[in-house]
Amino acid sequence: MPVILEARDLVKDYPLGEGSVTALRGVSLSVARGEFVAIMGASGSGKSTMLQLLGGLDRPTSGSVIIDGIEVSALDDEQATLTRRQKTGFVFQFFNLIPLLSVAENVGLPFLIAGDALAEHRERVDELLTLVGLSDKAQHKPDQLSAGEQQRVALARALATAPAILLADEPTGNLDYTTGSEILDLLWDSCDRLGQTIVLVTHDARAAAYADRVLVVRDGQLRDDIVLGRRSDHDPAALIRRLASLGL
């Protein structure tokens, strides 16, 4: 499969007081179109930093990121923002929905941001709401939904423009076990059935066991690249035990 996302030798320093903290120390990776990759590691290992660089939300101190053939790390801010909006969708631990907008408006937000009228995209929004099982709650406000439902809205929004890559940072981190499973099942379904490329950051072996491949990050470096294969073809329980035995 062709490569859709590539990182070359990413280094990221954050300024701190007089000095700086090095969060990434030379990370290189590639993700194939349609692949589901998990990035797994302990708290503070550099996962969120990696995801932000991979999705063009922040810039590396050195190194490059290539999304769908475009070197985002070389673009100016305006172009990088445009590319990010066109090529990526993000899901975060805290759903980041807009409280004053309805569920349908939140899902259609990427179209509003692009300057379109929501009416032009009604069919797409309906399709997304069906995908995440929230057709009957289109006119609700986020605070009228459960946490799991709010995350489903965030996922529908992230998928709205059919992005080349979906990036998710601990999307189940604020959900109970069953609700978390529903989100992971939806992610998996969008990958397996719709061919969505996914990069999922997690510290949870159960979540990582949904992926085709698990990249293990420790202290700002990739330490392992574990090929699992399609979830439908393997026993997730055995994989969870194996990941757990690595101390993850």
Ligand X SMILES: Nc1ncnc2c1ncn2[C@@H]1O[C@H](COP(=O)(O)OP(=O)(O)O)[C@@H](O)[C@H]1O
- The residues of the shown chain that bind ligand X, judged by CB under 6 A, are 14, 16, 21, 23, 41, 43-49
Site for Mg ion in 31-70 (CB under 5 A): 48
Least Å distance between CB 73 and ligand X? Answer: 17
Residue facing Mg ion at closest CB distance: 48
Q: How far is the CB of 168 from Mg ion (least distance, A)?
A: 11
83 binds, among ligand X, Mg ion, none (CB under 5 to 8 A by kind): none
Contacts with Mg ion by CB under 5 A: the residue count is: 1
Cβ count within 10 A of residue 19: 8
172 binds Mg ion (CB under 5 A): no
- Angle between the N-to-C axes of helices 147-159 and 177-192, in degrees from 0 to 180, rounded to the nearest 10: 20
Residues 126, 164, 53, 35, Cα dihedral to 10°:
110
CA gap 168, 30 in Å, rounded: 17
Give the one entry of ligand X, Mg ion, none that residue 244 binds, where binding means its C-beta sits below a cut-off of 5 to 8 angstroms depending on kind: none
- Picking from 104, 68, 105, the residue whose alpha carbon sits closest to that of residue 83 is 68
**Which two tokens mark 155?**
């996922």
**Partner in contact with 14, chosen from ligand X, Mg ion, none, beta carbon below 5 to 8 Å by kind:** ligand X
Cβ 177 to ligand X, closest distance in Å? Answer: 21
Q: What are the E-state strand segments in the chain? A: 3-16, 19-32, 36-40, 62-67, 70-71, 88-91, 165-169, 197-202, 213-218, 221-227
Smallest distance from ligand X to CB 17, Å: 10
C-beta of 248: minimal distance to ligand X in Å?
A: 12
Q: Give the interface with Mg ion as residue ranges (CB under 5 A).
A: 48
